[in-house]
Amino acid sequence: MRFQVKLVMFDLDGTLLDTAPQIAEAANRMLVALGKPMLPQAQIATYIGEGVQNLIKRCLTGSVQVEPEADLFAQAQPLYHDFYTANATQSQPFAGVVPALQQLKKQGYRLACVTNKPEKFTLPLLQQAGLADFFEVIISGDSLPKKKPDPLPLLHICQKLGVLPAEAVLVGDSETDIQAAHAAGCFVVTVPYGYNQGREIDVATVDATVQQLTEVVNLLELPALLKQGS
């Protein structure tokens, strides 16, 4: 059975773009500047997906539950932002991303991007990777009062495009995406190659999984009226 949807929303980090190398490099340059030990890229990758503030906090303390000292956190933020600004646009799309977006667009699906990344990074990254023009709407972690796992960014995109949440799917890499999609009432499909805090996705919590994005189109079907072009 295929999911009848008009709108396909994509997470960015760990789904469209392999941002972990550049995020880890920026985080490590921040840690060195603060006189702290560097962390392995694989560890920093598990901190991606809940926004930049959480990433910085976890690099400083190893936990989002443990708050870094306020002065240290204040010092860390501009350092991370400067270092990440310097290398962010080097991130490359994962295998299958470009053909998948081309095919979905050609078949008439509406496309959007919804990330917890700050706005100032999102568009340059998508532009540099040649992906920006695929998306009618791009929502970042600081575009709205709430970010994923809150449903607000997904509901906002649906409303803006005049699509019901039940006629939309979010393709993502993490439990943050799954929770946001469930709360919004959208379908959710996940990829296994992303960052999900170092954990495997629980397949019981998603509508489908794909190995790469080229498989997404085979899971979907446009509602009948749209297929007839009316």
Ligand X SMILES: O=C(O)COP(=O)(O)O
Active site residues: 11
Residue 57 contacts which entry, Mg ion, ligand X, none (Cβ below 5-8 A, type-dependent): none
Buried b (16+ CB within 10 A) or exposed e, 74-104: eebeebbbebbeeebeebebbebbbebbeeb
Q: Is 177 annotated as a binding residue?
A: no
Q: How far apart are the first and last CA of the chain?
A: 23
Choose one: 47-55, 129-137, 160-168, 217-225; the region binding Mg ion (CB under 5 A). 47-55
Q: Which two tokens stand for residue 182?
A: 């469930």
Residue 14 sits in the site that holds ligand X (CB under 6 A)? yes
- Rounded CA-CA distance 206/117 in Å is 23
One-letter amino acid identity for 130? G
CA distances from 87 to 56, 117, 124, 195 (A): 17, 15, 11, 19
Question: Contacts with Mg ion: how many residues (CB under 5 A)?
Answer: 6
Residue 18 contacts which entry, ligand X, Mg ion, none (Cβ below 5-8 A, type-dependent): none
Residue 18 sits in the site that holds ligand X (CB under 6 A)? no
- Rounded CA-CA distance 171/191 in Å is 8
17-18 and 92-93 strand pairing: antiparallel
Q: Which of 7, 9, 10, 13 binds ligand X (CB under 6 A)?
A: 13
- Rounded CA-CA distance 62/46 in Å is 11
Q: Which of 20, 45, 48, 181 binds ligand X (CB under 6 A)?
A: 48
Q: Which of 52, 112, 129, 220 binds ligand X (CB under 6 A)?
A: 52
Q: Which is nearer to ligand X, 4 or 212 (CB)?
A: 212
Residue 115 sits in the site that holds ligand X (CB under 6 A)? yes
Q: Is 13 annotated as a binding residue?
A: yes
Helices (DSSP H) in the chain: which residue ranges? 20-33, 41-45, 52-61, 70-87, 97-106, 119-128, 152-161, 175-184, 224-227
Binding mask 66-105 for ligand X (x = CB under 6 A): ----------------------------------------
Q: Is 207 annotated as a binding residue?
A: no
Residue 117 sits in the site that holds ligand X (CB under 6 A)? yes
> Which residues make up each annotated binding site for Mg(2+)?
11, 13, 173
Binding stretches for ligand X (CB under 6 A): 11-14, 48-52, 115-117, 141, 148
Query: Which residues belong to the annotated binding site?
Result: 11, 13, 173
